[in-house]
Amino acid sequence: MSGPTVLGIESTCDETAAAVISGRDLASNVVASSMDEHARYGGVIPEIASRAHAEAFVPVVSKALADAGMTIDDVDAIAVSAGPGLAGCLAVGVSGAKALAVAADKPIYGINHVIGHIAVTQLQFGDFPSDALALIVSGGHTSLLHVADVARHVDVVGTTLDDAAGECFDKVARLLGFPYPGGPHIDRHARLGDPHAVRVPQGLTQGRAGHEHPYDFSFSGVKTAVARWVEGRMADGKDVPVDDVCASLAESVSTVLATKAIRGCLAEGSDTLIVGGGFSANSQLREKLIEVGARNGVEVRIPRIDLCTDNGAMVAMLGVNLVEAGIRPSAPDFPIDSSMP
């Protein structure tokens, strides 16, 4: 499909990424991660991540253009994640993107990273049907959104009141001795365990009484319940059945996410659920969403794994949407916004 050619640049957390999209064709997609440097600290260290972005920016952007067989002159616009994310990390990516835009005289769009996680699904599944719902699940976010127009208007239908789903997995993983990020380790062990071996509460299955959103989530109590159970076993001198703990946690979290997201679709009259964010790589959640979606006649669009975690394609794709929608580029001095809503 023809359409504008956009270079997307991503640096919100520990991935320095760049990609080129022409219309709906992914011409290149390059990701460099500083994840290994953070593993021994048990979480992302902003200072280390920022330095890694500064080192990786030029090589990653150059490779994305080279892989696409292009130079900067061939792109119509540059898009860069302006938030939400770690301020120092955002500053490196946004400053680099601004410099490139000025030097090459290209329009630049500062985009919302979270909306990028939704936009990227178009590469695999085509454009959005009107009024889709989107479930965004990552290390920093867990939200159900109503996507009226991905370039202009997205409403929050529900969100986590405390921890994000990925954060909950990462915290339990730490307790079990897995390195950061622990989510993928829990996923792997969960496949070997009994999902009903340990009683894990689902947290806010119905929404909080009197709260305006019946689609809010809460995972902090889930994490605490698992932690208490594991610590109790240890105090009693018993082995911790790691596979069973992981499987039970995954069953609880994936069930509440899938049930509420599909219930939200039915209530809002939407027959399509878009899924995005790093946690949507989780195999138990993917299975559960497909199963609950199929049972209720909702089409679930989950991107392939490399498009779930942070990447440049999500930024470039939203950039294409903005150009196509005739949205004005950002002002040359647009700010980063680490807590962008």
Binding residues for Fe cation, as ranges, are 113, 117, 310
Interacting span for ligand KG4 (CB under 6 A) from 19-27, 33-41, 134-142, 233-241 = 134-142
Q: Does 163 bind ligand KG4 (CB under 6 A)?
A: no
282 binds, among Zn ion, ligand KG4, none (CB under 5 to 8 A by kind): ligand KG4
Residue nearest to ligand KG4 (CB): 278
Binding mask 252-291 for ligand KG4 (x = CB under 6 A): -------------------------xxx-xx---------
Q: Does 139 bind ligand KG4 (CB under 6 A)?
A: yes
Residue 138 or 252 having the CB closest to Zn ion: 138
Annotated binding site: 113, 117, 136-140, 170, 183, 187, 282, 310
Q: Does 309 bind ligand KG4 (CB under 6 A)?
A: yes
Instruction: Print the SS3 string covering 187-218.
Output: HHHHCCCCCCCCCCCCCCCCCCCCCCCCCCEC
**207-224: b (≥16 Cβ within 10 Å) or e:** beeeeeeebbbbbebbbb
Q: Does 187 bind ligand KG4 (CB under 6 A)?
A: yes
Q: Does 216 bind ligand KG4 (CB under 6 A)?
A: no
Minimal CA–CA distance to 53: which of 91, 104, 6, 99? 91
Annotated binding site for substrate: 136-140, 170, 183, 187, 282
Write the DSSP string, 133-162. EEEEESSS-EEEEEEEETTTEEEEEEEBSS
310, 312, 321, 329: which one contacts ligand KG4 (CB under 6 A)? 310
Minimal CA–CA distance to 318: which of 119, 166, 182? 119
Q: Does 138 bind ligand KG4 (CB under 6 A)?
A: yes
Kind and range of the H or E element at 294? helix 283-295
The span from the CA of 140 to the CA of 135, in Å, is 13
Structure-token pair, residue 133: 């719902």
The span from the CA of 287 to the CA of 232, in Å, is 31
Q: Does 181 bind ligand KG4 (CB under 6 A)?
A: yes
Residues that bind ligand KG4 (CB under 6 A): 13, 138-140, 166, 169-170, 181-184, 186-187, 277-279, 281-282, 309-310
